[in-house]
Amino acid sequence: MTQEFWRWKEYNWKDGTKDWRNARIITAGVDVGSVSSKVAIMTDGELYAHSLMRTGSDSSQSATKAINWAMEGSGLTIDKIQYVVGTGYGRVNVPFAKKSITEIACHARGANFIWGQSVRTVLDMGGQDCKAIKCDEKGKVSAFLMNDKCAAGTGRGMEVFADLLSVPIEQMGELSFAVDKEPEPVSSTCVVFAKSEALGLLRQGWSKEKVIAAYSSAMAHRVFTLLEKVGVEKDFVITGGISKNKGIAKRIENELKITALPRPDKYDPVLAGAIGAALFAKALVEKEKR
Amino acid sequence: MLANYGYKDGSGEFFITIDTDKCDGCGKCVHSCPAKVLEMVTDESDPFREIPVVAVSEEHRKKIKYSCSPCKGATCKTTQKTALPCVKSCEPVAIVHSW
C-alpha cells in the first residue's frame, strides 16, 4: 500500500491514578469534527480519559467508536456516564448525547480550562473551518466569527498539501522553516487553485520546503484577516488540529505581533472542544440536581 | 455575545452581526425578512439561555450577499443600513449588517 501522508496519529489516554468508581459526577464531551472525533471523559471536573480518532463517513458510528475507545480497559460503560454533551460539526448525530452545544461555546470553555482564566481570544483551526472566538474570564463567548465557506486555512487544506508534496503531515510545520528566506505566499486562497499553483512552483524548481513555507504563510495571512475582524486581545491561544503545526502558529503570531500561550504538556489543544463539552455537561448535571 | 454570520471573499465582507445579549427573542425580524434569511433558534452556544435567539439560517450563511441584495437595492444609499426591514423591525437594535 502506498503511504498516506495526510494520516495523523490516533490515540487514547487514561489517568491511571484515578478510579471512576470514586467519582461523584461523571460526564463526557463528544466532539465530532469533520475530520476527527474527540472524546473527553471527566470525573468531578477533572480529565479522566480521552480519545482522538478519525471521523468516518458515519458520524454516529464514529462517536460511538471514539467513546468506547476512551473507556477501553477502565470498566466504565456509557450508562454510568451521567451526562453526555455532543459538539462539533456532527453534534446532532451523537446518539447517546443528551444535549448538543456549538463547538464555539465548547472551545472557549475548554480553552479556559486548559490555559486558565486569562484567555481572551481563541483561534480554533479545525479540519473544515476556522473560528475566531473571544471570551471572558469564565470562558463565556463574547464574540465569534466562523469561516466555513472554503477550505483555505483549515486542516483539510494542509492534508491536501501533505499529500501533494509527499510529506507526512506532522512534519509540515518543521519543514516550513527549512528555507533561507521566507518566500512570497502563494497567491490563491482557494486550496484547489493553491494546489495547482504549488505544482507550477515545483516545476519551476522550487524546493518542497519553499512551497510549504509559501503555503503556510498564505494560510496564516488568511486566518489573520479573520482574527482582525473580531479583534485580538491577549491572552491568545490556538486550538484544533492545526495548533500542532508550528509553521502556521508561528506565522500567525508574526502577523498579529502577539505570541500565543505555549501548548500545555498536560492537555492536547485538539481536545479543547471535547473538554468544554464535558464541562458544560457537568454544569448541566449540577443544574438538574438543584 | 456578538454572533457574526457570513463570510469574507474576493468581492468583500458580508456579515450580519447579532448581539444575542440584546435580542429578546420577539421574532419580529424573522417575519420582516422577505428572503427568510433569519430564524428563531434555541441558542446552541449558550446552554443556559432560556429564551430563543435569532440566527442566520444555515441555508443562507454562505450566500447572504445574494440573499440580502433585494433589500439592499431597494433602500436609499444614505440610510441603507438602518432602513433594512430586519434592522428596522428590531427594537433593541440587535442586528447590524457589515455591508
Domain with residue B47: its CATH number is 3.30.70
Question: pLDDT grade, residue A283 (50/70/90)?
Answer: very high
Sign of the torsion angle spanned by Cα atoms B7, A238, A268, A116: negative
pLDDT tens-place string over residues A162-211: 999 999 999 999 999 999 999 999 887 778 888 899 999 999 999 999 99
Chain B: closest CA distance from residue A274 (Å):
14
Do A212 and A239 belong together in one domain?
Answer: yes
How much is the pLDDT for A87? 95
Chain B: closest CA distance from residue A106 (Å):
8
CATH (domain of A162): 3.30.420.40
Do A252 and A125 belong together in one domain?
Answer: yes
A193: three-class secondary structure by DSSP: helix
Strand pairing partners for B3? A144, B18
Do A140 and A213 belong together in one domain?
Answer: yes
Torsion angle, CA of A211/A212/A214/A220, rounded to 10 degrees? Answer: 160
> Using CA atoms, how far apart are residues A189 and A244, in angstroms rounded to an integer?
21
Q: Give which of B5, B8, B19 to mutate to test A binding, by max A Cβ within 10 Å.
A: B8
Do A33 and A78 belong together in one domain?
Answer: yes
> Using CA atoms, how far apart are residues A5 and A2, in angstroms rounded to an integer?
9
**A60 found inside a domain:** yes
Chain B: closest CA distance from residue A180 (Å):
31
Do A242 and A145 belong together in one domain?
Answer: yes
How much is the pLDDT for B79? 58
Cβ–Cβ of B47/A105 closer than 8 Å?
yes
Residues in chain B with CB shorter than 8 Å from the CB of A188 are: none
Mean pLDDT for chain B overall = 89
Q: Which of A38-47, A234-243, B70-79 has the lowest mean pLDDT?
A: B70-79
Which distant-in-sequence residues (6+ apart) come within 8 Å of B53 by Cβ? B18, B20, B23, B25, B40, B41, B42, B43
> Using CA atoms, how far apart are residues A274 and A63, in angstroms rounded to an integer?
12
**A224 found inside a domain:** yes
- DSSP result, B27-80: -HHHHH-TT--EEEE--TT-TT--S-EEEE-HHHHT-HHHHSHHHHHHS-TTTH
Mean pLDDT for chain A overall = 92
Strands A130-135, A141-147: pairing is antiparallel
In this structure, what C-alpha cell is assigned to residue A209? 520546503
**A194 found inside a domain:** yes
Cβ–Cβ of A230/B45 closer than 8 Å?
no
Do A285 and A250 belong together in one domain?
Answer: no
Does residue B29 have a pLDDT over 90?
Answer: yes
How much is the pLDDT for B77? 58
**Rounded mean pLDDT of B50-73?**
91
Total of domains in chain B? 1
**Rounded mean pLDDT of A133-146?**
94
pLDDT tens-place string over residues A47-90: 999 999 999 899 899 999 999 999 999 999 999 999 999 999 89
Do A128 and A111 belong together in one domain?
Answer: no
User: What is the Cβ-side half-sphere exposure of residue A85, based on CA atoms within 13 angstroms?
Assistant: 30
| Cβ–Cβ under 8 Å, residues A272 and A52 | no
Do A236 and A275 belong together in one domain?
Answer: no
**Rounded mean pLDDT of B61-72?**
90
Among A146, A229, A280, select the one facing B47 at the smallest CB separation: A280
Parent domain of B73:
2-97
How much is the pLDDT for A45? 92
**A167 found inside a domain:** yes
Do A58 and A169 belong together in one domain?
Answer: no
**A44 found inside a domain:** yes
Do A129 and A222 belong together in one domain?
Answer: yes
